[in-house]
Structure 1
Amino acid sequence: MAKNKTTETQSSVTDFINTVPDETKRNDCFQIAAIYEELTGYPPKMWGGSIIGYGSYHYKYNSGHEGDMPYAAFSPRKDSIVLYIDEFETREELLQKLGKHKTGKVCVYIKKLADIDIDIMKQLITASTKHAKALYP
């Protein structure tokens, strides 16, 4: 069975964020990292080469595939900052209030913190983390 590419590493989160070339995005990432740590109670860890995760759980599918994932995570990408927000009951309602963003299945793409309501982002992070912890205690 293939090994997961997204695994926790010992790389420095600070060093990684400092590689973000855009100063606004880099500063936003430091602020987002502090928010995630405050809300989740977990220190930031690098997952793979580009995901900053908080806490972790072990999963195992019926297929036999298993691995570890962070309860909460985000990632600075070239064009945006990706917040990984799990599905939960009021997710869509909160996303409507978030501000300028795009979404994928669990990805919420923002350009910069100035484009969104940070309090709504905090609610999304808190609810997503709570949901993940309920599924994987």
Structure 2
Amino acid sequence: MAKANKTTETTVNITDFINSFVEKDDKKADSFQLIELMSKWSGFEPKMWGPTIIGFGSYHYKYASGHEGDMPLIGFSPRKAEFSLYVYSPTEESKHLLDDFGKFKMGKACIYVKKLSDINIDTLEKMCKATIAYLNENHECACREK
């Protein structure tokens, strides 16, 4: 039997989460700016996913193993050390966009940045939109309703 996903949509209030979870004022300001930008770019309101991810929209995935679930189209987590940005899709366009992204570290499924002023916001927008398009083409996606 497949394990249940830990990362599911919740009803936690986004503002309450940021004000209680994020300690530094500059990181709070960056968090609220990301919410504004990602809402605009995705066309979706923010929702909490799991205990610490702020996501926008959703898509359904299913692996060959049979494991399946739902995840946000794009999102971020304001972790203590740095932001985890869930905005990357495995496309040539996204790989090319990394060249102009700014100061970051790459994880397996996310991009880590210390603060928004370290990255190119125009490039972040292009990456978010490219990822939404990729997910729309390759998965069952709430973005098709928009």
Tell me if TM exceeds 0.5: yes
Q: 90, 105, 114: which one pairs with 1:111?
A: 114
C-alpha contact (below 8 Å) 1:71/1:129 kept by paired residues: yes
Q: How does 1:92-107 map to 2 (within 5 A)?
A: 92-107=95-110
Matched residue count = 137
Tell me the distance in 2 between the aligned counterparts of 1:101 and 1:87: 17
User: C-alpha root-mean-square deviation of aligned residues, in Å?
Assistant: 1.1
Tell me the distance in 1 between the aligned counterparts of 2:95 and 2:9: 29
Per the TM alignment, residue 117 of structure 1 is displaced from its structure 2 partner at its CA by 1.1
Per the TM alignment, residue 57 of structure 1 is displaced from its structure 2 partner at its CA by 1.7
Unaligned runs of 5+ in 1: none
Q: How does 1:54-133 map to 2 (within 5 A)?
A: 54-84=56-86, 85-133=88-136
Tell me the distance in 2 between the aligned counterparts of 1:40 and 1:120: 15
Q: Secondary structure at the match of 2:112?
A: strand
Deviating 4+ runs (over 3 angstroms): none
Question: TM-score, normalising length from structure 2?
Answer: 0.89
Deviation digits for residues 21-58 of structure 1 (CA, Å, limit 9, x no counterpart): 01111100100111100000011000000001111122
Question: TM-score, normalising length from structure 1?
Answer: 0.94
Tell me the distance in 1 between the aligned counterparts of 2:32 and 2:54: 11
Unaligned runs of 5+ in 2: 141-146
Question: Kindly, what percent of the aligned residue pairs are identical?
Answer: 47
Per the TM alignment, residue 128 of structure 1 is displaced from its structure 2 partner at its CA by 1.1
Q: 34, 44, 47: which one pairs with 1:45?
A: 47
